[in-house]
Structure 1
């Protein structure tokens, strides 16, 4: 059966997720830092690598059309796809630029690109970072009060404990297409795929009480 391909203008949801006309696409074989994730630069200073990955992808796409070839569905109902702009594989580009890692659990298609980025110290490889899958595991454990298992990484020298953003202010205040102000707490269903755009009035909160007082509400189940 021929794979489905959807073309159109794309919005970047986060470093490895695109939206084309209301359809979400998770980039196949790639895992990028999460939206609230921090990494260390060459001088050991923390920076928002998750946002940087999303901005890099957005800049790469610009105003051009994107073609996403669907290869699977993930547990969130998103289409898993290889996406291209101007014929260039965006999945490969992200990994080669060092803004994503080869998601070996699901595919080895971009291992060569990761090795290239690592050798050239591009993107996150310039300093220390926690692989995104370990970062997510650590935050889920923190939310439930359990102790996460030791992180298994290919490069222990590139790993450090997950940095906290804004002294623990990690609740995302998002404004949806209808203009509803909704906050997402770490570990919730839509947290990882929510990207905050401060230029659109979105922001981070330290507590749910603070978010509610500012006019945001919890997502409806």
Structure 2
């Protein structure tokens, strides 16, 4: 009786070992597939003639793209310079339109934000649009481009020539989309959102 119990236990442990091995292989394959999909989606190329929505957003047909790592004033946002109020949101959008100058825009996708917009880094005519917007003081750093923001502030360029609420502060006060900083855990979540949206 004792021999049979030991034999049954041994046989059960043998099956369990195979089951554990099969589960481990499936888990590793799943992780490898997921990482491959994330890398593929994160590097998606998006290009074409785009419409400027505001200082940090573009549209390609019905597809919305959000310039990653920057935050520009909202279209309705007003700022102060030389003692006068001006439409800094309109100025920022106009500056981005000027950078593009009717050329095709080439973007590299880096996930989706919580609103389903592609988070992108874009260039037009060899100009890095994300960097250029911050460097000109037409947007603030939002998880990236801190060096460009410091240079713009030192030169009192764009927004830094006067007084303004950061776009994030303005949205809290006046209403608008609440956005996560485009860095750290938010970047991982953006990639996961894009992965899940394609499954």
TM-score (norm. length: structure 1)? 0.60
Where does the alignment leave 5 or more consecutive residues of structure 1 unmatched? 141-186, 190-221
Task: Tell me whether 1:32 sits opposite 2:67 in the alignment.
Answer: no
Aligned partners of 2:100 and 2:125 also within 8 Å: no
Following the alignment from structure 1 to structure 2, what is the Cα–Cα distance between the partners of residues 20 and 117?
A: 29
Pick 1 or 2: higher relative contact order, CA cutoff 8 A, min separation 6. Answer: 2
Partners of 2:70 and 2:141 within 8 A in 1: yes
Please tell me whether the aligned partners of residues 122 and 129 of structure 2 are also in contact (alpha carbons under 8 angstroms).
Answer: yes
TM-score by length of 2: 0.66
Instruction: Say whether the 8 Å CA contact 1:8–1:21 is kept in structure 2.
Output: no
Q: C-alpha displacement at 1:188, in angstroms?
A: 8.0
1:72 equivalent in structure 2: 111
Residues 75-100 of structure 1 show CA distances to partners (whole Å, capped at 9, x for unaligned) of: 11100000111232100000000000
The partner residue of 1:83 within 122, 133, 156 is 122
CA distance in 1, matches of 2:152, 2:170: 20
- The 5-angstrom pairing of residues 3-42 of structure 1 reads 3-41=43-81
Alignment partners' CA distance in 1, 2:101 and 2:164: 27
Answer yes or no: is the 8 Å Cα contact 1:25–1:68 preserved in 2: no
Which one has a bigger Cα radius of gyration? 2
1:1-221 pair list within 5 angstroms: 1-2=39-40, 3-41=43-81, 43-103=82-142, 107=143, 109-140=144-175, 187=176
Rounded Cα–Cα distance in structure 2 between residues aligned with 1:139 and 1:19: 24
Structure 1 distance, partners of 2:125, 2:91, is 22
Contact 2:171–2:177 (CA under 8 A) maintained in structure 1: no
Q: Which runs of 5+ in 2 are unaligned?
A: 1-38, 179-199
Higher helix share: 2
Quick one: distance in 1 between partners of 2:63 and 2:107?
Answer: 10
Please give the root-mean-square deviation of Cα atoms over the aligned residues, in Å. 1.5
In the TM superposition, what is the alpha-carbon distance from 1:129 to its structure 2 partner?
0.5
Distance in 2 between the 1:57 and 1:118 partners? 19
Extract structure 1 runs of 4+ deviating beyond 3 A: none
> C-alpha separation between the residues in 2 aligned to 1:121 and 1:8?
33
Question: Helix, strand or coil for the counterpart of 2:59?
Answer: strand
Residues 162-206 of structure 1 deviation map (CA, whole Å, 9 limit, x = unaligned): xxxxxxxxxxxxxxxxxxxxxxxxx489xxxxxxxxxxxxxxxxx
